[in-house]
Amino acid sequence: MSPKTEKKQYSFMQYLLAMTAACLVFAIMQGIHDNYGIMLNGIVAHTGIDYASVSFVIAVGQILYGATQPIFGMLALKKSNAFVMMCGIVFMAVGLIVTPFCSGWWSLLIFFGILLPAGTGALCFGIVMGAVAPIIGEKRAAVASGIIQASAGIGDALMSPLLQQFTDWRGVAFSMPVFAIPILLMLPVVFWLGNKRKKIKADNGENLPDEPKSESLSEILHFAMRDRTYWCLLIGFSTCGFHMAIIETHLFSQYISCGIPNNLASLTLTVYGIFTMLGAVMTGFLGQKFRMKNVLAFVYGIRVLVAVSFIVLPKSVPFAFIATGILGLTGDSTVPPTTGIISRKVGVAKMAVVYGSIFIGHQIGAFVSAWLGGVFVSTTLGYSALWIVDLCLCLTAAIASYRIKD
């Protein structure tokens, strides 16, 4: 075997190992982040804190998940992506272990509303992708980003039923600390990932691509905000956050309130995770065949129809599985066309900055949804009022997406 051939095989092995590590970390993080709704009822029952108050804590966490990402991005530039990810693992583990023992609202806010979401923010897609990008190379980056994003669906599909079964068996005082174990097991994985850059350079004798130079955030955002496209995407993604928080925070509780058994309600979230992967791949393919703004408008249009179904149709078990599957198809399907449009407008180098600013709007929408849902459910308005708001917002997002100049 020639040295050249051996080098190529070694590079592929590094790619495979790095992708496996990144997918594991991102899948476990997303599996926790997307299942606050399962934890919600357990926390209410265990701590005695009312539903609306716990919902507000989750809403604060939704804001922090988005707001901390630019901060951790800057920290990654000064330290390293691996350092930030290790911090995130510790934050998440402490949040999961301590939350069940919170006896008051303020302590719950600190550990479940601040520390745990900050940990998920440190393990967000941008940080994880940034950790593997120098290892996998620029040519493989596009494929890698799709695979890592799809791993979130695997995390949802596996962790939703497990979390529910453990919670039903022993309560959140058992289930939440137990789920800190796979998080902590990611520490050596991240440590390996952090050291791999230097190891590849030493073994292959190659110079890895330089880290992107820091640019003026104000100049990049000022340029982006002059274009109508930025504001249309911001409207759409803020609505996306509102819509997604219904699924992550309130959907499980709504199914339970309609008489659907706990195990079947959690199984619908597994279906959601599977269909999320399919939806992301689908819109990625459609974005190559059709104008991405039209694909984005189509996705928001489907969400309008789903919202209508939740308002007018009875919530039977078949409805829950079909509706949740459709929700999954549209779950992450806004990301490929959104990032694609941004990349075309500002270029790949500036995409992370612009996408990050729009993602903050996503999490503001999530905050409003998580909080407002708790208010509605605690009054006579109920879940239907939340879906009516979602319907109006998704319709606005569909119109705004169609108005994008691409």
CATH code for position 109: 1.20.1250.20
Instruction: Look up tokens 């009022």; give the residue.
Output: 385
Q: State which residues form the domain around 29.
A: 1-204
Note the pLDDT of residue 207. 47
Residue 209 placed within a domain: no
pLDDT tens digits along 138-186: 566 556 666 777 787 788 778 888 888 898 888 888 999 999 999 999 9
Q: Looking at the structure, tell me whether residues 271 and 369 fall in a common domain.
A: yes
Residue 175 placed within a domain: yes
Average pLDDT over residues 33-48: 85
Q: Could you tell me which residue, 115 or 230, shows the higher pLDDT?
A: 115
Q: Could you tell me which residue, 263 or 133, shows the higher pLDDT?
A: 263
Q: List C-alpha distances in Å: 278 to 141, 155, 243, 272, 297.
A: 20, 14, 19, 10, 18
Q: Which residue, of 170, 204, 238, is where some domain finishes?
A: 204
Between helices 335-346 and 348-377, what is the axis angle to 10°? 140
Average pLDDT over residues 200-227: 58
Residue 67 placed within a domain: yes
Average pLDDT over residues 201-227: 58
Q: Could you tell me which residue, 129 or 392, shows the higher pLDDT?
A: 392
Note the pLDDT of residue 393. 94
Q: What is the tally of structural domains in the chain?
A: 2
Q: Looking at the structure, tell me whether residues 93 and 242 fall in a common domain.
A: no
Would you say residue 198 has pLDDT above 90? Answer: no
Q: Could you tell me which residue, 150 or 20, shows the higher pLDDT?
A: 20
Q: Looking at the structure, tell me whether residues 21 and 98 fall in a common domain.
A: yes
Note the pLDDT of residue 217. 59
Average pLDDT over residues 192-212: 58
Residue 99 placed within a domain: yes
Q: Which residue, of 171, 204, 237, is where some domain finishes?
A: 204
Residue 395 placed within a domain: yes
Q: Looking at the structure, tell me whether residues 172 and 290 fall in a common domain.
A: no
Q: Looking at the structure, tell me whether residues 88 and 154 fall in a common domain.
A: yes
Q: Where are the alpha helices (DSSP H) in 137-227?
A: 138-170, 172-178, 180-184, 186-204, 217-225
Neighbours of 152 (CB within 10 A): 25
Opening angle at CA 132, ends 10 and 66, nearest 5: 170
pTM: 0.72
pLDDT tens digits along 337-367: 887 787 777 765 566 667 777 888 888 898 8
Would you say residue 267 has pLDDT above 70? Answer: yes
Burial class (CB in 10 A: 0-12, 13-18, 19+), 399: middle
Q: Which residue, of 204, 232, 249, is where some domain finishes?
A: 204
Q: Looking at the structure, tell me whether residues 248 and 374 fall in a common domain.
A: yes
Q: Looking at the structure, tell me whether residues 356 and 388 fall in a common domain.
A: yes
Residue 211 placed within a domain: no
Note the pLDDT of residue 390. 94
Q: Looking at the structure, tell me whether residues 198 and 220 fall in a common domain.
A: no
**Quick one: CA torsion of 169, 173, 174, 176, rounded to 10 degrees?**
110
Q: Looking at the structure, tell me whether residues 136 and 271 fall in a common domain.
A: no
Average pLDDT over residues 226-241: 88
pLDDT tens digits along 77-134: 778 888 999 999 999 999 999 999 988 889 999 999 999 999 999 998 778 877 887 7
Cα separation, 386 vs 243, in Å, equals 9
Q: Looking at the structure, tell me whether residues 6 and 103 fall in a common domain.
A: yes
Q: Are 85 and 127 in contact (CB under 8 A)?
A: yes
Among 62, 388, 114, smallest CA distance to 245 is for 62
Which residues have C-beta within 8 Å of that of residue 201, sequence separation ≥ 6? 207, 208
Residue 347 placed within a domain: yes
Instruction: Look up tokens 């599909």; give the residue.
Output: 157
Note the pLDDT of residue 1. 43
Residue 275 placed within a domain: yes
Q: Looking at the structure, tell me whether residues 173 and 240 fall in a common domain.
A: no
Note the pLDDT of residue 216. 58
Mean pLDDT value across the chain: 82
Which of 10-14, 72-76, 232-236 is least confident? 10-14
Cα separation, 21 vs 18, in Å, equals 5
Q: Looking at the structure, tell me whether residues 94 and 222 fall in a common domain.
A: no
Note the pLDDT of residue 219. 66
